[in-house]
Amino acid sequence: MRYVARRLMHSLLLLAGVSVLSFVFSELAPGDYYSELQAEGRVSAATLSALRSQNGLDRPLPLRYAIWLRSVAHGEFGYSLAYQGPVGPLLAQRIPGTLLLTCLSTGLAWLLALPIGVWSAANRGYQYDTILKVSLSILLSIPELLLAIILLAIAVQTGWLPAGGMHSPGGGSLIDLLRHLAIPVTVLTLGLLPVLIRHVRSAVSEAMGSAFALAAAAHGIPRRRLLLRHVLPVALNPLISLLGLSLGSLLSASLLVEVLVGWPGLGPLFLEAIFARDFAVVLGVVMVSTSFLIAGNLVADLLLYRADPRIRV
């Protein structure tokens, strides 16, 4: 329990640090929500000054941060000037879509990476392993955005899959949702898969070369049993640590893919807020993304604590 409490305390301190830095960066950013109106000259300077004062944009930064913390305590996460309402409900509408896309892609990538990585480590130096390494290098060099554009072009030309959104007009079935998930999940999975396979291969190869694995092989333990019962549990430690990092990297890629395929998640909301200089929404998306990353790392730490008795000692 002390370990869990200490990790939770570190997570809260990290969230607080991210929020402070985000507020400082928003203060350093040029302009605000009303800057475009001021540049166009459609509204007088006195009116813009009154609007800024009404929405608290002219208050000192520490006071604005304290007001924002109070709104977080009420679940509002600030006030969106573009949407004329609290940010919390906007985030609540978009978080399920991003979580569905990210969790499904992460789970599928790991389900593929574990057996492929173990097979590659067990067949080092063979022809098929060389072909696999070349294929992974090619796949790793293709950006996710380019891959998404290629798949979208194929979908538009062939009509096999929908080219964007979460549901078709008038549709809401599970089959319709899976067809809309096909392109973004494929892009995110293929973007993460080469990195995971390489790490699994490296971890398993290192465990296979250790003294205990060589001794077990010398005692006549069958190869499959040696891999699954002895080598793989030892190789899990670095892979569990990679789990949280893979969730964070996939989340950042997910925001860009969501914008490209029109997925109703945090990505389009984040981009619109940046263009509108709606910093309350930007800060809300940053804090949610950071929370996802911290939660992934926390889960990985707890799994590592359970799997490795040395950490418990």
CATH assignment of the domain containing 292 = 1.10.3720.10
Domains: count for the chain: 2
- Tell me the two tokens of residue 2: 């002390």
Count of CB atoms within 10 A of residue 242's CB? 19
Percent of the chain topping pLDDT 70: 94
Whole-number pLDDT of residue 181:
86
Q: What is the pLDDT of residue 57?
A: 76
How high is the pLDDT of residue 313? 62
Mean per-residue pLDDT, 35-55? 72
Question: What local confidence, expressed as pLDDT, does residue 25 receive?
Answer: 83
Angle at 7 between CA 6 and CA 11, to 5 degrees: 120
Domain that holds residue 136: 93-312
Q: Looking at the structure, tell me whether residues 67 and 164 fall in a common domain.
A: no
- This prediction has a pTM of 0.81
Q: Compute the C-alpha angle 126/109/166, nearest 5°.
A: 145
* Whether residue 165 sits in one domain with residue 124: yes
Closest by CA position to 33, among listed 65, 79, 77: 79
Does one domain contain both 50 and 191?
A: no
Is there a single domain that holds both residue 55 and residue 189? no
Whether residue 129 is found in the same domain as residue 60:
no
**Are residues 53 and 141 both part of a single domain?**
no
Q: Looking at the predicted structure, is the pLDDT value of residue 312 above 70?
A: no
Point out the domain boundary residue: 88, 111, 139: 88
Alpha-carbon distance of 9 to 265, in angstroms, equals: 29
Measured CA to CA, the distance from residue 114 to residue 204 in angstroms comes to: 10
Give the residue with greater pLDDT, 227 vs 285.
285
Q: How far is CA 22 from CA 265, 266, 272, in A?
A: 21, 17, 17
